[in-house]
Structure 1
């Protein structure tokens, strides 16, 4: 078992330790075990990470983050940035996993379309920290939506992160911070990363949905 497989197994053990809200019918329809973590897709050696809120129905069925309607918009934009053309099909979009890491604040699907509570996010935080600091080698994290961005609040002062979020240019600026993690043996790790927030690319986000592809392209020019 590889180190990352061990981490995924530890998450699944934690999920079984104490009940929390999981959209069980969606997992059953997909013939998946609700306790099995869908932690990430992509390349752990990539420079860039797309960080979302949590899994949706399509993500459970496909077994990887950011592959539903919103995730497909991200994948199409990233493909376009890399290849200077539109992706010809769904299979071509999958190639972006060679160049990025895709993950979420919690590696499970909540019931309905509601975000997980702070308590659930904190319960799984140590595992996401380990993924981002110990296993992933990149430094640039594009957060998708408020929930994803605010997940990083513990790694800098609350005043600093709230001040950044209130800036009119938050979707074109970077926020550097020191991300920290502790492994299962108690060894501590830390690394400087940059947050590059974007709005959530959901059709329900009427303020930004039409603008999102252009906003994403501006972010990706930096890579």
Structure 2
């Protein structure tokens, strides 16, 4: 699935007005800092991964979820689909073509600091268009609190409240939450959100548990060699 050119140009226009893109890293790898890093995948991929924003390795390869945290995701995905450990980096790239990938903001920020809410709000209509209008799947594994709560940006108060209430549940990484994402023109879609913690080594509370949590999530969503 390739990004619609109209949507791609809309991303580029917003990026040109955005302060905080890590231009030096893009320059290091001879990458265009205004080109969105979106992995996409098959239009009809039933399951998608939704993260925060790209890092250095994502800029280098022009693919999302390819750095250290993304490799944890891809390792679990490979094991679920192939029934054996992921052998190498190229295998991690190949297995990514089976699912949909996206981030709340598809540009690397300076210092890998999270984009402020003002930036996420600016890009929300474009990312929502991608999820609702371009991708046909409706099952989303979200990585981290910020990403899960992104589904409440520019949405009715009751939607935001329901997301907040769900996140306070102790079983938030085992259960799932259904929410509706509405576009400005009235189009909308209902998504099944399956949240997980962010797979960063800095997330000491959840990092060691992440592989098992991901394994269970993928089984719940029907992603497996013997499904």
1:1-223 → structure 2 map (5 Å cutoff)? 4-16=4-16, 18-154=17-153, 155=155, 156-182=158-184, 187-222=185-220, 223=222
Q: TM-score, normalised by structure 2?
A: 0.91
Q: Which moved more, 1:6-15 or 1:58-67?
A: 6-15
Q: TM-score, normalised by structure 1?
A: 0.92
Alpha carbons 2:149, 2:160 under 8 Å: kept:
no
Alpha carbons 1:181, 1:190 under 8 Å: kept:
yes
Alpha carbons 2:45, 2:100 under 8 Å: kept:
yes
* Root-mean-square deviation over aligned CA pairs: 1.5
Aligned length: 217
Unmatched 5+ stretches in structure 2? 223-227
Secondary structure in 1 matching 2:179: strand
Secondary structure in 2 matching 1:112: helix
Alpha carbons 1:46, 1:99 under 8 Å: kept:
yes
Whole-angstrom CA distance in 2 between matches of 1:19 and 1:174: 34
Secondary structure in 2 matching 1:40: coil
Deviations 1:120-173 (A, max 9, x none): 001111110011010001010100011111111244533211111010100011
The ranges of structure 1 where at least 4 consecutive aligned residues each deviate by more than 3 angstroms after the TM superposition are none
Following TM superposition, by how much is the alpha carbon of 1:56 offset from its aligned partner in structure 2, in angstroms? Answer: 0.2
Following TM superposition, by how much is the alpha carbon of 1:35 offset from its aligned partner in structure 2, in angstroms? Answer: 1.4
